[in-house]
A and B are shown apart, each in its own frame.
Chain A
Amino acid sequence: MTTAIHNAPGWITLTNVTKRFGDRLVLDGVSLTVQAGETVALIGPSGGGKSTLLRCLNGLNSFDAGTVRVGPHELTAAASGRPHAATMAVRRLLGMIFQDFQLFPHLTALGNIIEAPVQVLRQDRAQATKRAGQLLERVGLSSHAHAYPRQLSGGQKQRVAIARALAMEPRGLLCDEITSALDPELKGEVLDVLVDLKRDGLTLLLVTHEIGFARKAADRVVVLGGGKIIEEGPPSQVIDQPQTERTRNFLSRVLG
């Protein structure tokens, strides 16, 4: 199974991506392939490079060597991290959800959602508003369309953030520890939305500490440590029968 995925031409392909912050090697020649519609959970110790990997994927971080391919678009090390046409195209294919939501505080939930469709895609405002209403319904927040972010709970904010990303009609979502800032009782409502999106066929790349959720929802789990992929495979294998010492150590710490 593992080898098969590696050999298939993936929808997202990272080849030998290397990233340094000063002297620190954060990504050490990472290669990874993700198929369209696949849900991949990235787990591993803090500082292992998980978030950086996501951010290199859509051009929020530059990288020093290697290439990133998303669909037909390729980001090279030299052009990475800058708003080139390829970067902009990749961002249209991959939405991103952040740990700390990053809703626009001066706009309502609805305003947050229609901002990019109206300003970037030049959608008609009425049409964008109609679509935003559907998205809010989908994340269970129809009644909060005119609430400002400061009036929403953490879980509600994160669901608005997901609706905002979906409004651009991406093919996949990059989720960077999107439940880490939430109280335990609020995590469920956000994870439920992800399961729903997976069912719809969106490609999901999740950096997460929710091992339980990864086991249940992910097609594949990738363990990243010290800038390298330590282990990858289906959750039943990686989480329940880890092959390496480092994965075992990490899992025992996280699962307690």
Chain B
Amino acid sequence: MKRALALNENVRAATRYGAAVLACLLLVAPLAAQAPAPKPLLWGADKEGGKPYVFLDNDDPTKLVGFEVDLAAALAEELHRPIEFKQYEFDSLVPGLVRRDFDFAMNGLEKSPERAKLVRFSRPYYVYRQQLVVRADEERFTTFKGCLDRKGVFGTLDGTAAVKLLTELDAKQQSYQSPTEAYTDLALKRTDAVFMDAMIAQYYAGGDKRLKNAGRPTAKGYYAIAFRPEDDELAKQVDAALDRLMKNGKLRKIYRKWDIWNEAQEELMKGYVFEENDHERTAIPGSEPEFTSEAAQQATSNVSPFWVYLAMLGYGALVTVRVTVLSFLLAVTLGMPLALGRMYGPAWLRFLATQYVEIFRGVPVMLVLVFIYFGVPSLAELCGLSLGTSLLPEVAAVIGLGLNYAAYEAEVYRAGLGAIPAGQWEAAASLGMSRPLTFRRIILPQALRQLLPPMTNDLVALFKDTSVAGVIAVTELNKEYLTFARSDPAVVVVLGLVTAALYLIMSVPLGFLSRRLEQLWSEPAS
């Protein structure tokens, strides 16, 4: 018990008898007490991924719950080996497995041909479908196809099969890191629909009166456990264990407990061997045809996905440049009055400007963006205003980055203006020039040459910082790359290089310009 405790990250939870689920995992250890204790299997999953897979119990946040926690416990029992949970980012589960950070990944991982090239999948343990969710008052369309035809904007979840399908169907999409944000934005009319795993839809949107399901679940796929290809022996044992759990009804019991049981699972339990191209056989009678990756690829044309990726990255680069330019304009515009207020203003203005600079330099820009995008509309709603629909992600990103960088630019202005000797002010004053005139004609022109090199540096930094806007669903360059990389492991390296090249093509000339300006203007001024 003690050994297992030390290995478990929730020591406190494990000591409680009430923590039944974890106890299940740990109880296996005493069973094997006589024989040399088998090495525990490390199970990689993301507890932040959400309900109902693996998540922290609301009533006791030291406890892990979820249908996959129950499944892991059942597998441990079957295999006579303890299984330990290892927290891992969902997006990085496949690379993490390959890196040997854990022994298997089980976290609603969709069985895809791309992933199958890198990992050995177990037999499927769940049949999933995607569910389209729309606002309760939606009348423009009732099906996935309807939304697609109307060029609606789909919200979806980063790194899932839904992203890949929507990309292949050339649908407008906004990809989120958590379901909550995606459904919130739908309710706020920032998107037209959310296309996500039916299981997630059931847990996250099911109770929301503002939302409803549209059409039946579609785009079937399978969850399977991923192993390293060389661990075939282990995979076979798990396949056999899954088979036993299906036959003895334990799996069905777990699914029923979590209310995720349906007819499709019945087929799975009957021992039906699933192949990649068996859509017709499991299609729900009378439903619209299934949307699948393969079908989408055939439908959208003979253009290879790589070129689609490249085009999307190009678009992402465009968004990155647009956000950079606009937010920098805002920053240099706002930075000037901040610097002036701080240097020459009355005491109260000096205080306010100083606080502004300190706050925005001390707070991560990501927090600012999330606050503006998600927090401000909620605040406005509390005040009886409705901004929700008007604040687009890109606008929020420009405002957030602009406000943040204004603090830095204010400091650049302050340093540049402060470096001009007081004697220049006095000389101008003795010639009868007023302070505003002196500032405009004498001080500013001299300061500008000192401002431009550091400002160009800041522009490069801002350019790279725009990648943060991905958290509020701005489809800038980095976000586009992450989206593809997560849904298609095969393109991680190539598209990574392409993305880096795109950044460099844009940032290197700026850096060169900055150094050139510094050289040009480093000559002594007087």
Q: List residues of A whose CB falls within 8 A of some B CB.
A: 58-60, 83, 88, 91-92, 95-96, 98, 100-106, 115-116, 119-121, 149-150, 164-165, 168, 174
Contact = CB atoms under 8 A, between A and B. Distances in A.
Interface string B428-446: 1111111101000110011
A68 to B, nearest CB: 15
B430 A91 contact: yes
Contacts of A104: 424, 427-428, 442, 446
A164 to B, nearest CB: 7
B438 to A, nearest CB: 9
A92 B432 contact: yes
Given A91-B429, A150-B524, A102 B423 contact: yes
Question: Interface residues of B toward A: which range?
Answer: 20 to 34
30 contacts: A58-B430, A60-B426, A60-B429, A60-B430, A83-B429, A88-B434, A91-B430, A91-B431, A91-B432, A92-B432, A95-B430, A95-B431, A96-B430, A98-B426, A102-B421, A102-B423, A103-B427, A103-B526, A104-B428, A105-B525, A106-B525, A116-B428, A116-B433, A119-B433, A119-B437, A120-B432, A150-B524, A164-B431, A165-B431, A174-B430
Contacts of A164: 431
Interface of B: 421, 423-424, 426-435, 437, 441-442, 445-446, 449, 523-526
Contacts of B429: 59-60, 83, 91
A168 B431 contact: yes
A174 B424 CA distance: 17
Q: Which of A100, A105, A150 has the most CB of B within 10 A?
A: A105
A103 B525 CA distance: 11
Contacts of B442: 104, 115
Given A119-B441, A168-B432, A98 B427 contact: yes
Contact of B431 (A83, A116, A149): A116
B434 A149 contact: no
A164 B427 CA distance: 10
A59 B425 CA distance: 13
Given A105-B446, A106-B449, A119-B433, 8 more contacts: A83-B429, A91-B432, A98-B426, A120-B432, A120-B437, A150-B523, A165-B431, A168-B432
Given A104-B442, A106-B446, A120 B433 contact: yes
Contacts of B525: 105-106, 150
A83 B435 contact: yes
Contacts of A59: 429
Contacts of B423: 98, 100, 102
Contacts of A149: 526
Nearest to A89: B432
B434 to A, nearest CB: 7
B517 to A, nearest CB: 15
Q: Which of B423, B431, B435, B441 has the most CB of A within 10 A?
A: B431
B441 A115 contact: yes
Contact of A105 (B430, B434, B526): B526
Contacts of B430: 58, 60, 91, 95-96, 165, 174
B21 to A, nearest CB: 73
A151 to B, nearest CB: 10
Nearest to B420: A105
A168 B437 CA distance: 16
A109 to B, nearest CB: 13
B444 to A, nearest CB: 10
Contacts of A83: 429, 434-435
A63 to B, nearest CB: 16
A92 B433 CA distance: 10
Contacts of A92: 432
Contacts of B427: 96, 98, 102-104
A116 to B, nearest CB: 4
Contact of A106 (B428, B445, B524): B445
B391 to A, nearest CB: 43
B432 A116 contact: yes
A98 B423 CA distance: 9
B503 to A, nearest CB: 36
Contacts of A174: 430
Contacts of A116: 428, 431-433
A101 B426 CA distance: 11
Nearest to B427: A102
Nearest to B526: A105
Contacts of A102: 421, 423-424, 426-427
A121 B437 CA distance: 12
B294 to A, nearest CB: 67
A230 B433 CA distance: 35
A52 to B, nearest CB: 13
Q: Which of B429, B449, B523 has the most CB of A within 10 A?
A: B429
Contacts of A150: 523-526
A42 B435 CA distance: 30
B443 to A, nearest CB: 10
A168 B426 CA distance: 15
Q: Which of B433, B441, B446, B526 has the most CB of A within 10 A?
A: B526
Given A103-B526, A106-B445, A150-B524, A120 B431 contact: yes
Nearest to B523: A150
Nearest to B424: A102
A164 B423 CA distance: 15
A138 B255 CA distance: 101
Q: Which of B427, B435, B523 has the most CB of A within 10 A?
A: B427
Nearest to A60: B426
Contacts of B428: 104, 116
A174 B429 CA distance: 13
Contacts of A101: 526
Contacts of A105: 446, 525-526
A88 B426 contact: no
A104 B438 CA distance: 11
B432 to A, nearest CB: 5
Contacts of A91: 429-432
A176 B429 CA distance: 15
A60 B435 CA distance: 12
A103 to B, nearest CB: 7
A115 B424 contact: no
Contacts of A96: 426-427, 430
A164 B424 CA distance: 14
